[in-house]
Each structure stands twice: as C-alpha cells, then as structure tokens.
Amino acid sequence: MKLNSFIALLIILSSILSEELIPITILEKSVNRLNNQDISFLCDIKLQSLSKEPTNLTFQFHSYWADSTNYYSYLKFKSPIDYKGTEIWGHFSEEIVMKKRMPINNKIVKIEDGFESLDIVKFLNFSELFNNIKEYELSINEVKFNKKEVYLIKSYKKEGKKKSIKFYLDKDNFFIYKIEWNNKRGVLNKTLLFEDWEMINGKQFPSNIIYENIKKGLKTTCKLNKISFDSLNKENIDLIRIGFNND
C-alpha cells in the first residue's frame, strides 16, 4: 500500500514537472507577461550600419489595452529633424494594423512593410512572432546565460532543425533575455538582446534593447528612460485612438 502510494506520488510529481517544462506554455507566459499593462517611456535609439554614419533618434512611446484582445501602441519622434513629429500607431488584435502621420502632409495612412521604422515597433510586441511559431516544433533545455540558469527554447520546422529561433528566458518570471535567429545552414543571422533590467511596479523590464542583423551589418541600440507602468491618462488614450478614428 505504501509502495503504491509512493508510485502515485512520483507520477503526480512527474506530471507537474513535465507541465512546467512545456515549451509552448513557457513562451505563452513570457509573451503574455505584460498583457493588460499600460507602458510609457522615452527611447533614445542609435542606428548603425557598415555603409552609413550612425543615426540617432528619440521618440516617446505609449501602449494601451482597450480590452484583453485589443492592444494599441503609439510613438512620436522628437528627433532628428527628418523624423521630428512623425507619429506611428499600431493596433494588435486578430489582425495587425500599423499607421503613420508625417508633419509634411498631416495625413494618417497605413504603413507598408517597407517603412524603415516599423522594426522599432516590433521590438516591443512579441505576439506576432509567437503566433508564427506556435505550429513549429519546440524543444527546451536549461543552459547558462550570463552565469545564470535559464530556459533555452528552440523553435524549428520538422524538415530542418538548423533554421531556428532560440529564446533565452528567465526560469522564474519568464521574461526574455535574448532571441537568436539562425538560417537554414545554422548560421546566426539576427539577435535581439534585453539587458539592464529594472523593477517597475513590481515587474522586471529592460532599459536597454540591442538588435543586430549580422547578415546585413546593422545594429540598433534602444535606451529607455522615464519608464512608467501607470495607467494612461485620457489625453494619451485619445492620442492613441486618433489613428483609428475612421476605421
């Protein structure tokens, strides 16, 4: 009887531990970690490439949850002069809609994928990336990252494991430290690194984001200041809604 009870306990523990290490569940917790959380910050960006002199930009960012399925983002460039006053809106729901308004014509128009500042917005929302990999194969390991034990989740298609996306995640709070993209030959193409973490209203949030496109020789460094998790005031909510008033 005691042996049967012990075996039953082992089965229960095994089930619990297995559930904790389901990759898709961990990724989902990570992606949803800041759901329904309004966020504001000032961002200083440095764009570097092998063929051009570095470009520095500054923008104000706000995000807002109208409800559990409708997420909005808004940013407005403060510098340099070529970008100053340009606004970008995003609506993330069943579909993703991005819009912009430039001071030169003051018209709100939909953004095509070729707009060079669109990647900046995508750094800050993982829902699209998560939806793209949900049907892929996933593996999970525990590895060292900056002298800390973390989860390493690898996403890949059945027909080839070399082309993959790797996520380095905190084991306790599930926030993402780094993402790596490897091509079909297994060569590292792109990285997205989150560092200099701060505690904001009881939640960890990075104050430095570094994106590198190794293949193209591009690097983007985002330094975040004046980070706030306070609920947006009516003025900022109205500012976000302006982009979609005519939808």
- Which of 223, 155, 161 minimizes the C-alpha distance to 186? 161
Q: Please, which residues have CB within 8 angstroms of residue 167's CB and are 6 or more apart in sequence?
A: 27, 30, 151, 152, 153, 154, 155, 176, 178, 179
Per-residue pLDDT, 17: 40
pLDDT (tens, 9 = 90+) of the chain, 247 residues, equals: 444 444 444 444 343 344 446 788 888 888 778 888 899 999 998 989 888 899 899 999 998 898 888 889 898 999 999 889 999 998 888 888 889 899 988 899 888 754 445 555 565 566 667 777 777 888 999 999 998 999 999 998 888 778 999 999 999 888 899 999 999 899 999 999 999 999 998 888 999 999 998 988 989 898 999 999 999 999 999 999 898 887 6
Domain edges within the chain = 23-242
Determine whether domain 23-242 maps to CATH 2.50.20.10.
Answer: yes
